[in-house]
Each structure stands twice: as C-alpha cells, then as structure tokens.
Chains A and B, each alone.
Chain A
C-alpha cells in the first residue's frame, strides 16, 4: 500500500479508537508477550520468508508499542526503554505494512502461542486503528464501498442477479432433467434466506447451481435476495467495524422484509466468521433469527435422509482445505468431514489439518490486494506442498476466497488438481437426479 500522510487530526482519531476498542481482555493480551519468538514456526508467511518483520510477534509489536506509550506508566515515563512508540506518520505507515501486507489474520499464531496470547486479534486492532483514519489498502476500501453502495462487493445489479438466477436454473434443469429445480428470488415467506458470495454470481456459478439442486432435492423452502444477497463482509477485512455493522444490519433488515426464519450462509470463510460470530458484537444486540453455514444444513439433510447420496459417483481421491475463518476461528470443523464421508469414495486429510491447518495464503483480504501478489504465491507454497503430499486430484474447500488462491497455486506450482466446493461434490453424488 502507498505511503500516506498523517495530520494532527488523524493522530488524535487513531489514539481515540485505541481507547474505544480496548477492554480488559485486550489490554492483558497487549502486555503479555514474553518475546519467545516461537510463533514464527506457526506462521506461513514467516516460514516462507523468515525475516524478523514477518514474525507474528513483530507484527503484534507494532500495535503493543503504541499501547504501551499511552496506557502503561513505564511507557509514559520511559518510552525508549520499554520500546513504546508514539502515534506518528512513521509508526502508522509501519503499522499498515505489518497488519495488511504481512498478515492474513489466520490466527494460527494465536492458538500456538506458548503463553496463550491472541496475537492475531492484536494485529486486528492495528487494522481497526488504520480504518479509523481511513488508511486501508485501496482494494479493500473500494470493495467495502461497493458493498455499502450497491449491496454487494462486485456491484452486481438486481437485474443481473435475477437474470443469472434464471440462467443457472435453466441450465440445471436441462442438465438434470429435474423440472422442480428453481432459484427463487425475493420470495416473501420462504423459510431460508440463502446468502451467496458474489463471486458465485459473477464468475463461478457452479456452487450456487449445486446448492439449488441440493435444496430442490431436500424440498427446501428458500430464497435469495436481489439486493442484499452477499455473504461477504469487506468491512471486516478492512478493520472497519462501522461499515461491517451496516453490512450485517442490511442483511437482517432484508431477512425481516422477506419474513424468513433462518439465514444460511454459503461456503465462505470470512463471511461465516463475520455473520455468525462477529456481527452480533458490531450490532451490540442479539440476532433475531438463527444463522448457520450451509455445511451444517447439508449434514442435517443427510442425517434426516432428506437427501440421499451415492458416493461411488465421486471416485477420484479428494482432500480438504480448512479455511481459517470457518474452521480455526469459526468452529465448523466436523460437518464438512461428515459430509465428505458420505459423498466421496476416497478421502485423505492433508497434514496438518482442522484448527492446525495452514492458511492458503490468500486470507484476510490479501487475495484482493494486488501489492501482495508475490507474497501470496510465495507463502502459499506450504499449502501447495501439503496438497501435493496427499496425492489427491480434487481439493474440496468451503470458501471462495481460498478457492481462488488454490486455483493460482495450482497454476504456479503445477499441482494438476481441480478445486471444488463441498456443495459441488454433494450435487455430483445426489441420488435422485439422473445425469
């Protein structure tokens, strides 16, 4: 990101937001690091590029040095002795480079810290500070603005959403011969509001198509919305909690208008974390209706025998990539595994996996930031090696952001794999559909 100028007003703003986001929990984490440096081994960016600036502790230090200057006695009296830093153009530019370009916020350092410091959340505070003075990478800023102004991150019009829904449903009916398949839009009184990643509408519709077939098979009552259909939240990536709250609220207003009973999130890592876990904190109220991942819903269909699968239709070896925001942060760990056990013949875990899985390299908004292109590919080598070691030919991943990074890793490291969503594999195994 380009170097930015900071005036006095911005310095005051930055200092103020620091006070606003601090609580007892955060303060103790900020002051607890013993600088053992072991976090380096947990970080895919440090492992790919082992320089001191890439140590998770160094990134967190950019935030804690500012904290110490204003919120500890020793930092106020002897800043140089305790490594405390003032808010300045220099320190804020260094902070931006650390928290946006050297960290995907994957949180692997947090769960592996020797004394339990939540390093990734400290880094996130750095993003909060920078968002408050509107100094975030332009790609994250523009994408957030798209969401605020048009309702979705890719500025897809309501007309286009409607036309695409018709087109996908037409193709699907032709492919399967199942007349009941449709993609309802703005259907008042449907049971479920299904949120999708705009990437599914604009570029990669096969996952939405698969979900529509699964819903038809389960005889589900569902709808998408023509305006607020977006499962993502770029306010969250930006550290811009105010925008994140507006984006969350828009969806609940839409749900109210459509009188749905539940919101179901398509396969999206950060979207799940933002809507399922962070949103209620931003809105400072309890959600009126439940929110869950489509993975949890598909597993319910399988258990309740609302859909039946013939896994012999998926006979190519499959491995699974765990999106950090869904798995490590979000706690959705077993549904995708139980689904794959029912949907594919030959499944192999990559190592490490579940909450210890490595980031794909494109998380935390880094996929969108062009400046990070090289680092993304370099730090994705760990993931590429993990995949190659499984000898699987299909990598399933319940996240569109990860899927795009994996596509690139496939190209750059010549992995010879195919990347699919869980829904696509389930659709492929659906029993009542004759293909």
Chain B
C-alpha cells in the first residue's frame, strides 16, 4: 500500500509492520479492506481510543474499555468492525497483531 509517497508494509495477517507510519489515511485504506466504506464518528471513537491506549500501554485494550469509552454495546462494536475488535478494529488502528488466539 502506498500512502503519501510512503510504502506501508503489512505482515501476512494484514497487520502493519511499522505501526509508527500509521495515520488517518492509512486507517481509511485498511478500513476499506474491512468492508468499511465510510469511517463514521463511532468508528473513529473506537479506533482513536485503541490507538492511544496502545501508545501508552503497548497492549491492545480490553473490549470492556473500548465499549465503555466509545459508549457502545459489544454487539454494536461487532457491527462496526465485522472482523471483531482484534482483526478488525486493532488492525485499522495500526496495531501489530495481538498475541494469542486471535
């Protein structure tokens, strides 16, 4: 993927290998792959919270925090990101792949 003249590289799971190159344009491009044509305000609330939490803690946040911060229910979160919080929302937020069964 090329964004603003820069090559954005992904691992074979589609997660960014260089998370520092993330920006909103990159997020929109990944979102398109996820079938999200238009990033709504709710999408951004989720993505920005995940992004900031990760920067501070070097970990993806638990779904409880994501839902409470974005003010949405868990079923609504799955509707926003059909691949779920890990392979969907965390990927759009430019995080590396979380550990474990995801």
A-to-B contact residues, CB < 8 Å: 139, 142-143, 146, 153-156, 160, 163-164, 167-168, 171, 197-199, 201-206, 232, 234, 367-368, 370-374, 400-401, 404, 407-408, 411
Alpha-carbon distance between A168 and B34 when the two chains are bound, in angstroms: 27
Report whether A368 and B68 are in contact in the complex, using a CB–CB cutoff of 8 Å: no
Report whether A164 and B100 are in contact in the complex, using a CB–CB cutoff of 8 Å: no
**6 residue pairs A–B, Cβ–Cβ below 8 Å:** A154-B99, A203-B84, A368-B102, A370-B15, A371-B11, A372-B12
- CB neighbours (8 Å) of A373 from chain B are 11-14
> Is B80 part of the binding interface, using a Cβ–Cβ cutoff of 8 Å?
no
- CB neighbours (8 Å) of A400 from chain B are 101
Q: A370-B13, A411-B83 are known contacts. Are A198 and B100 too (CB-CB below 8 A)? A: yes
B18: shortest Cβ distance to chain A, in Å? 14
> Is B71 part of the binding interface, using a Cβ–Cβ cutoff of 8 Å?
no
A146 interface neighbour in B13, B82, B83, B100, Cβ under 8 Å = B100
Report whether B83 and A234 are in contact in the complex, using a CB–CB cutoff of 8 Å: no
- CB neighbours (8 Å) of B68 from chain A are 167
Annotate B79-98 by CB proximity to A: 1 below 8 A, 0 otherwise.
00011111100000000011
> Is B59 part of the binding interface, using a Cβ–Cβ cutoff of 8 Å?
yes
14 additional contacts (CB under 8 A) given A154-B99, A198-B100, A370-B12: A155-B99, A160-B62, A160-B64, A164-B64, A171-B73, A199-B101, A203-B84, A203-B86, A232-B101, A370-B13, A371-B11, A373-B13, A401-B101, A407-B83
- CB neighbours (8 Å) of A374 from chain B are 12
Report whether A146 and B99 are in contact in the complex, using a CB–CB cutoff of 8 Å: yes
Alpha-carbon distance between A202 and B53 when the two chains are bound, in angstroms: 14
Q: A205-B74, A407-B83, A408-B87 are known contacts. Are A370 and B102 too (CB-CB below 8 A)? A: no
B21: shortest Cβ distance to chain A, in Å? 18
Report whether A201 and B62 are in contact in the complex, using a CB–CB cutoff of 8 Å: yes
Report whether B73 and A197 are in contact in the complex, using a CB–CB cutoff of 8 Å: no
Tally of contacts, chain A with chain B, CB under 8 A: 91
> Is B26 part of the binding interface, using a Cβ–Cβ cutoff of 8 Å?
no
Beta-carbon contacts under 8 Å, B8-60 to A: 11-15, 34-35, 59-60
Interface size class of B (residues with CB under 8 A): 20 to 34
Report whether B99 and A370 are in contact in the complex, using a CB–CB cutoff of 8 Å: no
B47: shortest Cβ distance to chain A, in Å? 15
> Is B70 part of the binding interface, using a Cβ–Cβ cutoff of 8 Å?
no
Q: Which 7 A-B residue pairs are closest in the complex by CB-CB distance?
A: A373-B12, A153-B100, A373-B13, A370-B11, A370-B13, A143-B99, A167-B64
A86: shortest Cβ distance to chain B, in Å? 32
B53: shortest Cβ distance to chain A, in Å? 12
Closest A residue to B100 using CB positions: A153
Closest A residue to B75 using CB positions: A206
Alpha-carbon distance between A197 and B101 when the two chains are bound, in angstroms: 8
Report whether A234 and B100 are in contact in the complex, using a CB–CB cutoff of 8 Å: yes
B66: shortest Cβ distance to chain A, in Å? 9
B17: shortest Cβ distance to chain A, in Å? 9
Report whether B15 and A153 are in contact in the complex, using a CB–CB cutoff of 8 Å: no
Report whether A164 and B99 are in contact in the complex, using a CB–CB cutoff of 8 Å: no
- CB neighbours (8 Å) of B64 from chain A are 160, 163-164, 167-168, 205
Report whether A143 and B100 are in contact in the complex, using a CB–CB cutoff of 8 Å: yes
Report whether A199 and B102 are in contact in the complex, using a CB–CB cutoff of 8 Å: yes
Alpha-carbon distance between A166 and B66 when the two chains are bound, in angstroms: 15
Report whether A368 and B83 are in contact in the complex, using a CB–CB cutoff of 8 Å: no
B100 interface neighbour in A167, A168, A368, Cβ under 8 Å = A368
A55: shortest Cβ distance to chain B, in Å? 23
- CB neighbours (8 Å) of A167 from chain B are 64, 67-68
Report whether B62 and A202 are in contact in the complex, using a CB–CB cutoff of 8 Å: yes
Report whether B83 and A367 are in contact in the complex, using a CB–CB cutoff of 8 Å: no
The interface centre, meaning the residue of B68, B84, B85 with most chain A CB atoms within 10 A of its CB, is B84
Alpha-carbon distance between A408 and B102 when the two chains are bound, in angstroms: 10
- CB neighbours (8 Å) of B100 from chain A are 143, 146, 153-154, 198-199, 232, 234, 368
Closest A residue to B11 using CB positions: A370
Alpha-carbon distance between A307 and B14 when the two chains are bound, in angstroms: 43
- CB neighbours (8 Å) of A154 from chain B are 98-100
Q: A205-B63, A371-B12 are known contacts. Are A411 and B82 too (CB-CB below 8 A)? A: yes
Closest B residue to A206 using CB positions: B74
Closest B residue to A403 using CB positions: B101
Alpha-carbon distance between A410 and B49 when the two chains are bound, in angstroms: 27
- CB neighbours (8 Å) of B74 from chain A are 171, 205-206
- CB neighbours (8 Å) of B101 from chain A are 153, 197-199, 232, 367-368, 400-401, 404
Report whether A202 and B82 are in contact in the complex, using a CB–CB cutoff of 8 Å: no
Closest B residue to A402 using CB positions: B101
B61: shortest Cβ distance to chain A, in Å? 9
Closest B residue to A168 using CB positions: B64
Alpha-carbon distance between A202 and B74 when the two chains are bound, in angstroms: 12
B1: shortest Cβ distance to chain A, in Å? 16
